[in-house]
Homo-oligomer: A and B are copies of this chain.
């Protein structure tokens, strides 16, 4: 059966202007039956790291024939390359600025191709200097979604930009990481993951570390102490309702990362946490 073309969109364009609409119009002109799904348009302006993280939390749940269009592009108009990346989990289109770092760090779904979007047949006839989302990336995504081969879009792009993986240091008695993201609820996601439950134990299977890909650490969830934002939180919980409303807790979040939360409240606000802040999990 023919797959229905599916394009997701992740941008920092906000929801007030016509920019996202223009991109969707461009896509539907090329792929009239494409299914369009917004991941978010509320990435903080120019925050490539945040876009990389939010994409990471969502793309794996889409069918592998999906095309994920990401336009967070502070370097628009500079020499930064427009690229497409293919992995077994999906195809990704956007600027070569690190926004696909997490996608490319996934060793279970190794990168199959990275190309530069160079062929003018897969761009709009007129290219503005300031809106490649509409003029370059949206047409490329639409053509890929309709089945155009990634290699038709341009030559291989060597050495795409990637960020260093988020901090994760594993010692016999402690695991150290950093805050990755504070979500809408104020839940704070950290780089300490993936954590997998096995009875009352947690097993750490590093998510992004190429170097430490083989390392594993096992510890009793109830015995761990989390030090973050000047506080100590004892124990890693399974779910919010194990504590009273208003209480601070640590738990394993929906992506398998250690998360700091306040039940029915905001841990980001209470603990004043920001991306990059240190979090340490001390094992007894």
A130 in contact (CB, < 8 A): yes
* Chain B residues, CB < 8 A from A37: 21, 24-25, 28, 36
A42 in contact (CB, < 8 A): yes
A76 in contact (CB, < 8 A): yes
Chain B residue with the shortest CB-CB distance to A181 = B17
* Chain B residues, CB < 8 A from A66: 25
* Chain B residues, CB < 8 A from A8: 21, 25
Rounded to whole angstroms, the CA-CA distance of A146 and B118 in the bound complex is: 38
Min CB–CB distance A97 → chain B (angstroms): 12
Q: In which size bucket is the chain A interface?
A: 35 or more
Quick one: given A16-B40, A38-B21, A264-B74, are A253 and B58 in contact (CB under 8 Å)?
A: no
Min CB–CB distance A82 → chain B (angstroms): 14
User: A residues touching B (Cβ–Cβ < 8 Å)?
Assistant: 3-4, 6, 8, 13-26, 28-29, 32-33, 35-43, 45-46, 54-63, 66, 74-78, 128-131, 134-135, 181, 183-185, 238-242, 251-254, 256, 259, 264
- Which 6 pairs show the lowest CB-CB distances between chains A and B? A77-B239, A14-B184, A25-B61, A131-B254, A18-B58, A18-B57
